[in-house]
Amino acid sequence: MDLRQKVTTAFTEKFGSPPPLLVQAPGRVNLIGEHTDYNDGFVLPMAIDRGIWLALRPREDDQVAVHSLDFGETAVFHLSNLQNTNSGWAEYLKGVAWALQADGYTLRGWEGVMAGNVPKGAGLSSSAALELATARAFQQLSGFDWDAAKMAKLSQRAENKWVGVNCGIMDQMISAAGQAGHALLIDCRSLDAQLVPLPPALDGSGTAVVILDTTTRRGLVDSAYNERRQQCEAAAAHFGVTALRDVSIGEFLAEADNLPELTRRRARHVITENLRTLNAAKAMQNADAALLGQLMNESHASLRDDFEVTNEALNVIVTIAQAQDGCFGARMTGAGFGGCAVALVHEAKVAGFVTAVSDQYHQQTSHSPKIYVCHPSDGASAITQN
Ligand code: GLA
């Protein structure tokens, strides 16, 4: 049963009539542009056909009551008295309510049922999906316009300040603004976003985006992530700019020998990754799958050697993927330190690719990967029904 049907059925059983409103928001996979968003740089993610769905109806008071089918729990809170109790998934909803209200929006209460199918903790942004689905629900019921960039920023604020995770803007932006069939080139400083189509293979067949979950997870990802952010800020300070986005490759090379070794490698990753991301968007516009794949491979090497956010499992699965017939390129995706890789694969070769990567990865690591063939999908959306 798909998620839309699942939440509709559960809502109807619980409330005795079908839901007047459905909202959904997707998870994401980033094709290229990793650890660049908090450097005011460029990213190129796409929304995936996995997300969070909510079936709901308005309430007359300021209470929000949501039953999660995945957790088998109901969260209840009041918009006029939001309390942070560090209680897991409900804090994402409360955090979005808090951020919207703090920005001056007047919100209305609602009740409903939710379900999702973004694997949690895999680096595919299940939390951004939950935030943007919540923002969509409030937007529909409280009657204000959907401004994707603004909703992304407020959802990011909820995650930074209410949930306490210091993420950049990428995940919320793509979940808010994705479009079917496309990836989105996002300028993380201006939040300008440009749609770019997935390139076809040379013979005119389609290409597929395949997510390879190593199923390895590292603890302390937050502190490793924050450490990288600090290293980037130190590098920007060395150049006297607000963010590494402002350092050209020429300026970097002229100064490279004067930088401490670690700062040099961190900065080199970010500066070259921004260039690769802009080139990747051009390659996609030119229908050049081979060049996009090559840039993905280069991105992985930079994340492994200069930024040091891969682990052994990611390196193994990427090496296996890159060696397969029909694979244009592969790299780790998301924050790293475990989690997922992404590969661009000739559509006709996908089935063989999935079997070969799965078998070889299992042989080499004894982990069983989870593999998802994904389609670029729409960002947060709403369906009203009478
Ligand atoms: C996580 C963060 C994003 C981004 C990536 C790395 O997914 O949530 O903001 O920084 O890591 O590119």
Atom of ligand 1 lying closest to residue 34 CA: 12
Return the domain boundaries, the chain.
Answer: 3-195, 198-374
Cα–Cα distance for residue pair 46/275, rounded to 1 Å: 19
198-374 under CATH 3.30.70.890, yes or no: yes
Q: Tell me the per-residue pLDDT of 105-129, one tens digit each, with 9 for 90 and over.
A: 999 999 999 999 999 889 999 999 9
80, 92 Cβ separation under 8 angstroms: no
Segment (H or E) for 69 = none
Confidence grade of residue 232 (pLDDT, cut at 50, 70, 90) = very high
Cα–Cα distance for residue pair 29/355, rounded to 1 Å: 21
Stretch 236-259: mean pLDDT: 97
Query: What is the CA 213 to chain-centroid distance, rounded?
Result: 14
CA atoms within 13 A on the CB side of 258: 8
**Separation of 313 CA from ligand 1 center, angstroms?**
19
Cα–Cα distance for residue pair 375/32, rounded to 1 Å: 16
* pLDDT top residue among 219 and 191: 191
Q: Tell me the per-residue pLDDT of 293-329, one tens digit each, with 9 for 90 and over.
A: 999 999 999 999 999 999 999 999 999 999 999 999 9
Angle between the 312-322 and 289-305 helix axes, to the nearest 10 degrees?
A: 160
DSSP-assigned states of every residue in 325-357: TTEEEEEE-SS-SEEEEEEEEEGGGHHHHHHHH
What's at 88, amino acid-wise? G
3-195 under CATH 3.30.230.10, yes or no: yes
* pLDDT top residue among 218 and 270: 270
pLDDT at 150 over 90: yes
**Separation of 37 CA from ligand 1 center, angstroms?**
7
Q: What is the pLDDT of residue 317?
A: 98
Q: Tell me the per-residue pLDDT of 123-147, one tens digit each, with 9 for 90 and over.
A: 999 999 999 999 999 999 999 999 9
What's at 35, amino acid-wise? H
Which of 157, 167, 277 is the best mutation target for the ligand 1 pocket, counting ligand atoms within 8 Å of the beta carbon and taking the most? 167
The token duo for 248 is 């050209």
DSSP letter for 20, please.
Answer: S
As a whole number, the mean pLDDT across the chain is 97
pLDDT at 202 over 90: no
Task: Classify 85 in phi/psi space as left (phi over 0), alpha (psi -120 to 50) or beta.
Answer: alpha
DSSP letter for 81, please.
Answer: B
CA-CA-CA-CA torsion sign (118, 124, 129, 130): positive
264, 58 Cβ separation under 8 angstroms: no
Cα–Cα distance for residue pair 327/322, rounded to 1 Å: 6
101, 107 Cβ separation under 8 angstroms: yes
pLDDT at 87 over 90: no
Q: What is the pLDDT of residue 59?
A: 98
Place of tokens 């603890």: 219
Confidence grade of residue 51 (pLDDT, cut at 50, 70, 90) = very high
- Residue 145: CB atoms within 10 Å: 7
Which of 28, 35, 211, 231 is the best mutation target for the ligand 1 pocket, counting ligand atoms within 8 Å of the beta carbon and taking the most? 35
Helices (H), the chain: 3-15, 90-102, 126-142, 148-157, 170-177, 221-239, 249-255, 261-285, 289-305, 312-322, 350-365
Task: Output the residue whose Cα is nearest ligand 1's atom 11.
Answer: 335
Q: What is the pLDDT of residue 165?
A: 94
CB-based pocket (< 6 A), ligand 1 = 34-35, 37-38, 167-168, 170-171, 334-335
What's at 11, amino acid-wise? F
Stretch 219-239: mean pLDDT: 94
pLDDT at 221 over 90: no
CA-CA-CA-CA torsion sign (175, 178, 179, 180): negative
What's at 162, amino acid-wise? W
pLDDT at 386 over 90: no
Length of the chain measured in residues: 386
Max intra-chain CA distance, the chain: 70
Task: Output the residue whose Cα is nearest ligand 1's atom 1.
Answer: 335
Enzyme catalytic residues = 171
- Residue 192: CB atoms within 10 Å: 10
What's at 261, amino acid-wise? E
Q: Tell me the per-residue pLDDT of 368-380, one tens digit each, with 9 for 90 and over.
A: 999 999 999 999 9
Stretch 10-35: mean pLDDT: 98
Segment (H or E) for 119 = none
Confidence grade of residue 159 (pLDDT, cut at 50, 70, 90) = very high
pLDDT at 178 over 80: yes
Cα–Cα distance for residue pair 128/26, rounded to 1 Å: 8
Cα–Cα distance for residue pair 181/305, rounded to 1 Å: 32
**Separation of 169 CA from ligand 1 center, angstroms?**
8
**Separation of 17 CA from ligand 1 center, angstroms?**
40
pLDDT at 276 over 90: yes
Query: Long-range contacts: 197-201, Cβ < 8 Å, 24+?
Result: 197/284, 197/285, 198/46, 198/284, 198/376, 199/283, 199/284, 199/286, 199/287, 199/288, 199/289, 199/292, 200/287, 200/289, 201/289, 201/328, 201/346, 201/347
pLDDT at 1 over 90: no
Q: What percent of the chain has pLDDT over 90?
A: 96
